[in-house]
Structure 1
Amino acid sequence: MDAAYVFRVRFRLDTQRGVRTAPRTFETVVEVPAAEPGEDGWLFFRDTLWRGDVNDERHARELAEDWLSVPVDSVSFSELRADEAYVEAMDAEIAEQLDLFNADAVYEVRHKYLGSSIRVEETE
């Protein structure tokens, strides 16, 4: 199984006084490995996303600063990129724990947190 959360992150360089850079801000794509469904950290999407976007901009910037070790100005969620096996395992885990999501169906959970931002890649 393979999956990653994909974010677009705008960060800046904080330099010593008198040191200048051009440009001062940069944008990059950051892929964060998704934990296996049911394992520690697998609820990242529930705790971080809402309707396919970050649910708390400040928290998302703090996460990105930890990932990149630079000051972050903005973070936007792009997609959960996953293979079919990961999505099937995630759906099965969600179905077993619908009460964690205050939902009646797997589709409702996926839409509530990820919107339509899941890209399923074929495995070779």
Structure 2
Amino acid sequence: MDARYVFAVRFRLEPATEGVSVAPDEFETRLSRGADPPGEDGWLFFRDNLWRGEINDERHFRRLTEQALGATVVSVEYRALETDEEYLAALRDEIRDDLGTFRADSVSEVLNKYLGSSIEVQK
């Protein structure tokens, strides 16, 4: 099983040495975070951080990303859950087993509620 959350991150370099400058000082990059296996610690990352395919608390998520990158983060945007078919099937099964946790009537409702249409299945 293989899956990762993908984000577009815009960050700024701020030289620590006086008299040093960079141009440009802002860059955009792709950030990937491995998705924990369904049912294991951390698998609810999508529920805790995303809503309808958007980051639900951008300021908080920006701070977390700054800590991970060691740079000033200007913006973070969720792009997709990239996954293989095996991971997606396991995710659907885990959600189905506990729909009450998500206050939803179906797996499709849960996936749409948190991930929007941003699931990319790799073959």
Under a length normalisation based on structure 2, what TM-score does the superposition of the two structures give? 0.96
**How far 1:79 sits from its partner (Å)?**
0.2
Report the count of equivalent residues: 122
Where 2:24 maps in the other structure, the secondary structure is coil
Aligned equivalents of 2:51 and 2:2: distance in 1? 22
1:14 aligns with 2:14: yes
Where 1:100 maps in the other structure, the secondary structure is helix
Following superposition, which runs of at least 4 residues in structure 1 exceed 3 angstroms of deviation? none
Q: Identity percentage over the alignment?
A: 56
1:91 aligns with 2:92: yes
Q: Which residue of 2 is the match for residue 2 of structure 1?
A: 2
Aligned equivalents of 1:103 and 1:67: distance in 2? 33
Tell me, which stretches of 5 or more residues in structure 1 are unaligned? none
Where 1:91 maps in the other structure, the secondary structure is helix
Tell me, which stretches of 5 or more residues in structure 2 are unaligned? none
Aligned equivalents of 2:21 and 2:107: distance in 1? 50
**How far 1:101 sits from its partner (Å)?**
0.6
1:31 aligns with 2:59: no
Where 2:60 maps in the other structure, the secondary structure is helix
Under a length normalisation based on structure 1, what TM-score does the superposition of the two structures give? 0.95
What one-letter code is carried by the residue in structure 2 that aligns with 1:46?
Answer: R
Deviations 1:90-115 (A, max 9, x none): 00000111111111110000000000
TM-align CA RMSD: 0.8
Deviates more, 1:14-23 or 1:40-49: 14-23
Aligned equivalents of 1:66 and 1:32: distance in 2? 14
Deviations 1:18-76 (A, max 9, x none): 32100111100011100000000000000110100111111110221122121101000
